[in-house]
Amino acid sequence: MSLDDLRNRIDEIDLELVKLLNERARVVVEVGKLKSRTDGPIYAPDREKQVLAKIRRANQGPLPDRTLVAIWRELMSGSFVLEKPLRIAYLGPAGSFSHTAAMLKFGQSVEYEPLADIRSVFDEISKEHCDLGIVPIENSTGGGVIETLDALIETDVKVCAEVLMAVHHNLLANCLLEDVEKIYSKPEVFAQCRNWLTATFKEAKTIPVASTARAAQMAAEEPNTAAIGSKIAAELYGLKMICENIEDIANNITRFLVVSKEDAKPTGEDKTAILFSTAHKAGALADVLEVFKKYNINMTNIESRPSKKRGWEYYFFVDFLGHHTEERIQIGLEESRQHCLQLSILGSFPRATELL
Ligand SMILES: O=C(O)C(=O)C[C@]1(C(=O)O)C=C[C@H](O)C=C1
């Protein structure tokens, strides 16, 4: 076949695809009507997981799964607009890693709300000004994100999904490396680039700010100043990437949580996040973990934060495999409660198994 023949065939297929996509969209409109009658949440993380798993199973190539998943994510982004335009809050300004994670997860068709700090993301959900929020919770090099952990203690939002994203840091500036006197970034990012920073600079001052995108914005306005952030932030704020991939560990992954007023329905491959506090006495945490062992509750993360109410009392954050509606987990959590001052379920959500 000639090039023209092949292109004619592509044109025919494209027209069929447009028809099919709109046929799908008309069904989505019906789903939206049903949900508005039952007041159900628009974002259905369990169904999203099912749809993407079905697409992967059906794929016989030559397109890679990754391409089809990206297309279907964009389709579902369009579905939100047809059902109810979603507003998604993230730690801004535009160009932050949270922004990139949000765009990869929820696509181009939804509305995004950049906020000045992580706590504001939680507050916007609590006040129902936004439908969903996306916040970093832990990084494979730097560990837990304190602002997110504290906001989970202090607000009533639920966790409905998680997202894993590879994060690469770059030194962004409009001056030469040897002229850099000040570096702005998020404290967690300095921690992820600690060895590189000590090896590269003797004198440059590191100054913590709320986000990497804010750092880039500020660096663009001040002489002899750099920021550590993403390639996207460099492009948005007119900075050059003077050193690339400066993270100490190349495989640097951040886990984000999607927060909302409701958690997710079971998918068969879920995680649950809980928060509990124990009294300051010997073996208090061990007693809770003993119950987890008894009910085969398999933990995937544990973090602690001071209670800020009494000295040496802590809140513990635990993630484990399974959904809180499973009987084994319900019984296990009830028994755990007896060893806690307080225990709350932050939410169950589909387990993320791939990078975005
Ligand atoms: O099935 C739903 O609940 C939908 O909202 C439809 C749909 C889709 O386009 O397939 C949209 C977004 C996701 O939340 C999951 C599914």
Distance from residue 51's CA to the centre of ligand 1 (Å):
8
Residues 283, 334: one domain?
yes
Closest atom of ligand 1 to CA, residue 45: 14
What's the number of domains the chain is made of?
Answer: 3
Residues 175, 209: one domain?
yes
User: Residue 294: inside a domain, yes or no?
Assistant: yes
pLDDT tens readout for residues 16-47: 999 999 999 999 999 999 999 988 889 999 99
Residues 234, 277: one domain?
no
Distance from residue 122's CA to the centre of ligand 1 (Å):
24
Of 243, 273, 289, which residue is a domain's last? Answer: 243
Best of 76, 81, 88, 106 for a ligand 1 pocket test (most atoms within 8 Å of beta carbon)? 76
pLDDT tens readout for residues 253-285: 999 999 999 999 999 999 999 999 998 888 999
User: Residue 15: inside a domain, yes or no?
Assistant: yes
Residues 234, 289: one domain?
no
The residue whose C-alpha atom lies closest to atom 1 belonging to ligand 1 is: 47
CATH of the domain at 197: 3.40.190.10
C-alpha span between 278 and 287 (Å, rounded): 10
pLDDT tens readout for residues 93-126: 999 999 999 999 999 999 999 999 999 999 999 9
- Selected catalytic residue, list 141, 254, 267, 272: 254
C-alpha span between 268 and 295 (Å, rounded): 18
Residues 235, 269: one domain?
no
For the question of residue 254 being annotated catalytic, the response is: yes
Residues 183, 216: one domain?
yes
Burial of 253 (0-12, 13-18, 19+ CB in 10 A): middle
User: Residue 239: inside a domain, yes or no?
Assistant: yes
User: Residue 120: inside a domain, yes or no?
Assistant: no
Closest CA to 95 of 244, 232, 255: 232
Q: Is the Cβ atom of 28 under 6 angstroms away from ligand 1?
A: yes
Minimum mean pLDDT range among 157-161, 220-224, 306-310 = 306-310
Distance from residue 76's CA to the centre of ligand 1 (Å):
6
State the pLDDT at residue 34.
93
User: Residue 76: inside a domain, yes or no?
Assistant: no
Burial of 87 (0-12, 13-18, 19+ CB in 10 A): middle
Closest atom of ligand 1 to CA, residue 48: 15
Average pLDDT of the chain is 95
CATH of the domain at 295: 3.30.70.260
Q: How many CB atoms lie within 10 A of CB 277?
A: 20
pLDDT tens readout for residues 280-331: 888 999 999 999 999 999 999 999 999 888 888 889 999 999 999 999 999 9
Closest atom of ligand 1 to CA, residue 35: 3
- Selected catalytic residue, list 256, 292, 316, 320: 256
Is the distance from CB of 32 to CB of 83 less than 8 angstroms? Answer: yes
Structural domain range at position 342: 265-350
User: Residue 48: inside a domain, yes or no?
Assistant: no
The two three-digit tokens of residue 259, written as one number: 């927060």
State the pLDDT at residue 202.
84
User: Residue 213: inside a domain, yes or no?
Assistant: yes
Is the distance from CB of 107 to CB of 82 less than 8 angstroms? Answer: no
Residues 287, 328: one domain?
yes
C-alpha span between 344 and 255 (Å, rounded): 21
Of 243, 276, 294, which residue is a domain's last? Answer: 243
User: Residue 346: inside a domain, yes or no?
Assistant: yes
C-alpha span between 188 and 198 (Å, rounded): 15
Residues 276, 335: one domain?
yes
Q: How many CB atoms lie within 10 A of CB 90?
A: 30
